[in-house]
A and B are shown apart, each in its own frame.
Chain A
């Protein structure tokens, strides 16, 4: 009787350990910020910032001026220009953006559009002061509809939320968009 009880105890322990191993989140998911879906036009709030997706434009080419040179960038896909309004909560900070396409692939800010006027990568957001910024992505056109703009804090994203901002209505694709200072 005592022997049967011991065996049952060991089996129960093994089952408990197995269940814990199966359900423990792995490293890849532990170090992700908490996803927070935000409806189109609404303001999303994370622990360290709040933001709103104010506009979306699509273009075959973009033009801007950098270091005194006029540059035009073309793509086999499409340039997606996301306009956002954001402010920090508590402490000044920068924001990082990724476009999560319809297929789930993640498109980083296009480095071919670095240093555009009001570019997100060069913007600081202050507590209590709303600020506008532009994020430019380069991606295949079929990744636009059904995608979302994912905004995170640049430095402490892990213990904060990632705002998944649904885009406003999709606009017509323009041949070229010029960024004026």
Chain B
């Protein structure tokens, strides 16, 4: 093999190697950008009372957070979130906050509280269904833990992702939940 031929082969190999590395890098960067886009934000944006939040099936507009006295003697105090709910889908929803249910999550001092009871303001009954285009006012009630000191609390809202054709059967499915908004405030009526 002559010196010239060896140099030419080396140069061609080097060129092909550089092109392959470039293509691989472009594919990896593209994939990573897609992962970043799909990833839930670490800190969902802050919303204020009165701002609507899209939760997938419904839109919730938190209106006011208040500390209320116990319903009956001997029971703990309650934290009440008054809100407006609107069904955004084309059919009546029984799983208003998705399935499994993800109602707004309340936390105080980094400690999450158990799920709230949700009642329809119209008749005081539990919320069991929401029809399209019929907005309803509801109250979400949390029982206050005995060791809680009145102060700021945070509410995290989760949105469930809808896919018209999922990857398994190609059917319409409600999939993962992602935190989409956070609201921090001191409840009204707290001493």
CA–CA, A111 to B126, complex, Å?
Answer: 11
Do A31 and B92 have beta carbons less than 8 Å apart?
Answer: no
Query: Which among A27, A75, A111 is the interface contact of B134 at CB below 8 angstroms?
Result: A75
Known A-B contacts A74-B122, A77-B134; the reply to A108 vs B129 at CB < 8 A is yes
Q: How far is the CA of A111 from the CA of B94 in the complex (A)?
A: 9
Contact (A110, B132) CB under 8 Å given A27-B170, A104-B90: no
- Chain A residues near B133 (CB-CB < 8 A): 77, 105, 139-140, 143
Interface status of A87 (Cβ within 8 A of chain B): no
**Contact indicator A140/B91 (Cβ below 8 Å):** no
Asked if B91 contacts A28 (CB within 8 A), the reply is no
Q: How many residues of A contact B (CB 8 A)?
A: 22
| Cα distance, A73 to B164, chains bound together (Å) | 35
**A138: interface (CB < 8 Å):** yes
Q: Say whether A107 contacts B131, CB under 8 Å.
A: yes
B134 and A110 form a contact (CB under 8 A): no
Pick from B92, B123, B172: contact of A73, CB below 8 A: B123
Q: How far is the CB of A142 from chain B (nearest CB, A)?
A: 9
In the docked arrangement, what's the CA distance between A165 and B176, Å?
37
Which residues in A have their C-beta under 8 angstroms from that of B128? 111-112
Shortest CB distance A7–B (Å)? 29
How many residues from B make CB contacts under 8 Å with A? Answer: 21
Shortest distance between the CB of B111 and any CB in chain A (Å): 34
Bound-state Cα–Cα, A110 to B90, Å: 15
Q: A98: which B residues are within 8 A, CB to CB? A: 91
Taking a contact as CB atoms under 8 Å apart, the answer to whether A105 and B90 are in contact is yes
**For the complex, is A76 an interface residue (Cβ under 8 Å from B)?**
yes
A139, B134: Cβ atoms under 8 Å? yes
Near B by CB (< 8 A), chain A positions 134-176 give 138-140, 143
Please tell me if the beta carbons of B92 and A28 are within 8 angstroms of each other in the complex: no
| Chain A residues closer than 8 Å to B136, beta-carbon distance | 76
The reply on B10 being an interface residue by CB < 8 A is: no
By a CB distance below 8 angstroms, the chain A residues around B129 are 108, 110-112
Q: What B residues does A140 contact at CB under 8 A?
A: 133-134
Q: A73-B123, A104-B90 known; A27 and B132 CB under 8 Å?
A: no
* Distance (whole angstroms) from the CB of B102 to the closest CB of chain A: 21
Q: Are A27 and B131 in contact (CB under 8 A)?
A: no
Cβ of A123 under 8 Å from chain B: no
B171 CB within 8 Å of chain A: yes
Cα–Cα distance between A105 and B108 once the two chains are bound (Å): 40
Shortest CB distance A103–B (Å): 8
Least distance between A35 CB and chain B CB atoms (Å) = 16
Beyond A27-B169, A138-B131, 15 additional contacts (C-beta under 8 Å) are A26-B171, A28-B171, A76-B135, A77-B133, A77-B134, A106-B92, A107-B132, A110-B131, A111-B128, A111-B129, A112-B128, A138-B134, A139-B134, A140-B133, A143-B133
By Cβ-Cβ distance, the 10 closest A-B pairs, closest first, are A27-B171, A108-B92, A106-B91, A105-B132, A111-B129, A105-B90, A27-B170, A111-B128, A27-B169, A140-B133
